[in-house]
Structure 1
Amino acid sequence: MKKIYSLFALMSLFMLSGCSVYNFTGTGKIDAKTFQVNFFQNNADLIEPGIDRDFTLALQDLIQNQTNLNLVSNGGDLVYEGEIVDYRTTPMTATAVTSGGDVGAAQNRLTIRINVRFTNKNKESDDFEKTFEFYKDYPGTEQLVGSSLNAAIKEIYDRITQDIFNESLAKW
């Protein structure tokens, strides 16, 4: 009977030794202590003031809130850099022709695309350069200005920053 308990204990120990640290953000064990997010320049053809600063801060905030990494201004173990390469509004569906001959958009789409270069100084195989994009659809009768524009940009940035986080740290 003692041999069975010993064998069971040994098998349990062996199975648990293969497990790594896991947390609810899905990052597992990170081989870094610091990160830096360089300013993401707005190189899009259509310039919306302040979206470069807002994106840089959104990415910093997400990483700080979901990891134990320390934000540094230079020399980080993990480095995020890149640029906003596209900011555009496009009509998605057209309305019927009115008696005046006008055709309008029933729905528009705001799209933001960001090119990201990620460098892990401790594990070069994790490095990548990739474009991340997301959009927000809104009625063609509305204008995206003020708080509705800010809400749309925040929704887009929430998705893009989470996608960047997943690609660089969560490996999902």
Structure 2
Amino acid sequence: MKLKLAVVALCAAVLTGCGVAINYSLSGASIPPDAKTFSVAYFPNNAPMVSPILSSTLTESLVDIFSRRTRLTQVEEGGDFAFEGEIVNYVSTTASVSSSEQAVLNRLTITVKVRFTNALDEKASWNRTFSAFADYDTNILLTEAEGTLIPEIVDQLVTDIFQASASNW
């Protein structure tokens, strides 16, 4: 009995005496405990072809993903995690052709340059380019498809940006 009690006491001491801080998150985020804030600057559309809703959709979606998936508080500028950048490409190309060499699918591709600053760990800061796309039927005009395609593509872009900045993979 004394041996069992000693083993239990030893296990309890080892488990509680360990000073390692581990942060688990269902979102996949690995945010340092010292990080309290994030900021997202407006992402202007500097692509040769412009969609009027793209800049605001991208900026708002990036704010939304950090608000929902982290404990960080949004500030206007100078957050512990700070994002700025620009949309550099917005282009529709042929994605697929039929056996008779007629286009059957078009592809809308959006490319974004992002500058991420981690004020708590400068080594974790980066400048990267992210690109995502979605295909649509050639019988539909791009202006008709944008309302569905842009949110889909932006969702993939902000997920990639989130994972690159807040995940320890």
TM-score of the two chains, using structure 1 as the length reference: 0.87
Deviations 1:87-110 (A, max 9, x none): 00000222354xxxxx53111100
Q: For 1:56-95, what aligned pairs fall within 5 Å after superposition? A: 56-95=59-98
Residue 3 of structure 1 aligns to a residue whose secondary structure is helix
Instruction: Please list every run of 5 or more consecutive structure 2 residues that lacks an aligned counterpart in the other structure.
Output: none
Q: Which of 138, 154, 158 is matched with 2:155 structurally?
A: 158
Q: Which of 23, 27, 30 is matched with 1:28 structurally?
A: 30
Distance in 2, Cα, partners of 1:47 & 1:139: 20
Indicate whether 1:170 and 2:167 are aligned.
Answer: yes
Percent identity, aligned pairs only, is 35
How far the C-alpha of 1:9 sits from its partner, in A, is: 2.0
Partner in structure 2 of residue 115 of structure 1:
113
Partner in structure 2 of residue 52 of structure 1:
55
Task: Decide whether the 8 Å contact of 2:105 with 2:137 is kept in 1.
Answer: yes
Distance in 1, Cα, partners of 2:49 & 2:102: 21
Structure 1 residue runs of 4+, over 6 Å off? Answer: none
Task: Please tell me the residue identity of whatever aligns with 1:22.
Answer: Y
Task: Please tell me the residue identity of whatever aligns with 2:153.
Answer: I
Instruction: Please list every run of 5 or more consecutive structure 1 residues that lacks an aligned counterpart in the other structure.
Output: 98-102
Partner in structure 1 of residue 9 of structure 2:
6
How far the C-alpha of 1:14 sits from its partner, in A, is: 5.0
Task: Decide whether the 8 Å contact of 1:104 with 1:140 is kept in 2.
Answer: no
Distance in 2, Cα, partners of 1:110 & 1:144: 8
Deviations 1:74-127 (A, max 9, x none): 222211001101100000222354xxxxx5311110000101000011111110
Give the number of aligned pairs: 165
Task: Decide whether the 8 Å contact of 2:30 with 2:168 is kept in 1.
Answer: no
Indicate whether 1:126 and 2:124 are aligned.
Answer: yes
Of 87-96 and 126-135, deviating more is 87-96
Residue 85 of structure 2 aligns to a residue whose secondary structure is strand
Of 33-42 and 67-76, deviating more is 67-76
Residue 83 of structure 1 aligns to a residue whose secondary structure is strand
Please provide the CA RMSD for this pair: 1.8
Distance in 1, Cα, partners of 2:117 & 2:166: 11
Residue 41 of structure 1 aligns to a residue whose secondary structure is coil
